[in-house]
Chain A
Amino acid sequence: MSEVLDSYPQWLDGAWVTIRLTLLGGALALVLALVFGLAGTSRSAGVRGLNRVYVEFFRGNATLVLLYWFFYALPLIGLRFTTMFAAVLALGLNVGAYGAEVVRGSINAVPKAQYEATIALNFTPFQRMRRVLLPQAFALMLPPFGNLIIELMKGTAIVSLVGLVDLTRVSKNIQGSTGQTVASFTVVLVLYFVIAQVLQLFVRYAERRVDRMLGRRLPPEPSLGTIAAGAPGAGVSG
């Protein structure tokens, strides 16, 4: 065990790669989720179609397959990425597709009367989104977004299979060099768990703030609806 813990500089380096991938992938996913989620609520069928194509393609694909495709297949047609960039792209595109469904579903879940009120008040479509629909939808989005960022963090482990030295790769290396199988693989699982709990704390904090801002309390128990929304492979119905 002590040999495994003595390699803490390696663990720290690995953790830093994992955290960086989570943050960069999460940022890309958030942007894509907002752009394509808003596209999904558009009145133009063409724009909505764009949302469907993006969501079905990237949500339907396995992240690891996407990563292999960016990493092994695209260089053959002249597109070359660094491993880090390919990984962020694969994770961001995949999780962004789930996120887009969350955004679309949450905006649609804001009561119809709110939307009608904005029309009665003669708001422009931009004001409508910015001032009324998005702030309310945001509170609905947070719990599923929290699940998604943890899914994304777990998803970063795939980069160990294309040569990036993240936490998972570090555990394999240390297991190889020290022969301490149980200790190395236990330590890595605990480290991932700690990272997940920290992310969880941030999400809870954000949820509480948004709820207070809007002056409402969401039920503490997850209902089937929120589980379906946060499930990998699941969209928001409606």
Chain B
Amino acid sequence: MSWDWHYSGEILPDLLNGLRYTLTATLLGYVIALVLGLVWTLLRRSPSRVFNQVVRWVTEFIRSTPLIPQLYFVFFVLPAWGVTIGSLTAGTITLGIHYSTYTAEVYRAGIADVPKGQWEACTALNLPRSRVWLDVVLPQAIRRVIPTLGNYLIAMFKDSPMLLAINVAELLFSAYQVGSKSLQFLEPITMVGLLFVVVSVISSILVRRLERRYATN
């Protein structure tokens, strides 16, 4: 069996349509991950030890369980509790929450990398807490973590095919559907694979550029 160029051209619009869903879920999920991750990090700095440990275990739990059962959990359990939710929304939210536990680690390491002298200077200047965080610590921490956060955007993009578990019509799902219509799977799935490689290679070049730009040493 050889490659069918005519068929490849024919299925392209379907795949691009799937790509739209993939990108929507990835980008919106990424926004959730960035914001929620920062929330986790700040919660973990609370003065209460018990509260800290609870947050630590919750994030550890989310981080060490797989995405697909988490997708099932959100997609099937929420309706049981009376919340109706579309599959794309469920997928986006789950992806975002899952990765927020990774970004939280990154922020934490970023904050720990801010030199101690900066904190001491803030104390010496008697700056209020909000100014310390917003004007001194976070700007420096976030600058350092930009490349690592960039890597997580790529990682989320590569995890997005798993959303097909709850029937989100993303890229791989569309490829599988056009494939099962004609029973020609080779072309659609290979095209999806190549697309992933191309996007990943281009974005890892961009991340490497970010690393050079934001290098601290």
Bound: A188/B66 CA distance, A: 10
A231 nearest CB neighbor, chain B only:
B151
Bound: A108/B184 CA distance, A: 45
A160 CB contacts on chain B under 8 angstroms: 68, 165
Bound: A78/B165 CA distance, A: 27
Q: Does A155 reach chain B (CB closer than 8 Å)?
A: yes
Q: Dominant SS at the B interface?
A: helix
Decide: B185 and A189 in contact? CB cutoff 8 A: no
Decide: B189 and A69 in contact? CB cutoff 8 A: yes
Q: Does B130 reach chain A (CB closer than 8 Å)?
A: no
Which of A166-223 touch B at CB < 8 Å?
A: 167-168, 171-172, 175, 181-182, 185-186, 188-189, 192-193, 196-197, 200, 221-223
Q: Does A56 reach chain B (CB closer than 8 Å)?
A: yes
B175 CB contacts on chain A under 8 angstroms: 68
Chain B window 67-80, contacts with chain A (Cβ cutoff 8 Å), 1 for yes, 0 for no: 11110110011001
Number of interface residues of A (CB under 8 A): 54
Selected contact of B76 from candidates A185, A192, A193, CB within 8 Å: A185
Decide: A154 and B65 in contact? CB cutoff 8 A: yes
A146 to chain B, nearest CB (A): 11
A145 to chain B, nearest CB (A): 16
**Which of B32-40, B41-49, B85-93, B193-201 forms contacts with chain A?**
B193-201
Decide: A68 and B196 in contact? CB cutoff 8 A: no
Which of B122-165 touch A at CB < 8 Å?
A: 144-145, 147-148, 151-152, 154-155, 158-162, 164-165
B207 nearest CB neighbor, chain A only:
A234
Bound: A79/B76 CA distance, A: 37
Decide: A231 and B186 in contact? CB cutoff 8 A: no
B69 CB contacts on chain A under 8 angstroms: 157, 167-168, 171, 185, 188-189, 192
Q: How large is the interface on B (under 10, 10 to 19, 20 to 34, 35 or more residues)?
A: 35 or more
**Which of A59-67, A116-124, A131-139 forms contacts with chain B?**
A59-67
A72 CB contacts on chain B under 8 angstroms: 176, 179, 185, 189
Q: Does A12 reach chain B (CB closer than 8 Å)?
A: no
Q: Does B172 reach chain A (CB closer than 8 Å)?
A: yes
Bound: A152/B98 CA distance, A: 16
Decide: B186 and A76 in contact? CB cutoff 8 A: yes
Decide: B72 and A154 in contact? CB cutoff 8 A: no
B62 to chain A, nearest CB (A): 9
Contacts A68-B185, A221-B109 given; 4 further ones with Cβ under 8 A? A57-B197, A61-B193, A181-B76, A196-B64
> 4 closest A-B pairs (Cβ-Cβ)?
A233-B155, A60-B200, A196-B64, A157-B66
A-B contact pairs, 25 of them (CB 8 A): A60-B158, A60-B204, A63-B158, A64-B161, A64-B172, A66-B193, A72-B185, A72-B189, A73-B186, A153-B66, A154-B66, A157-B68, A161-B68, A171-B69, A175-B72, A181-B77, A185-B69, A186-B73, A189-B69, A224-B109, A227-B105, A227-B106, A228-B151, A231-B152, A234-B155
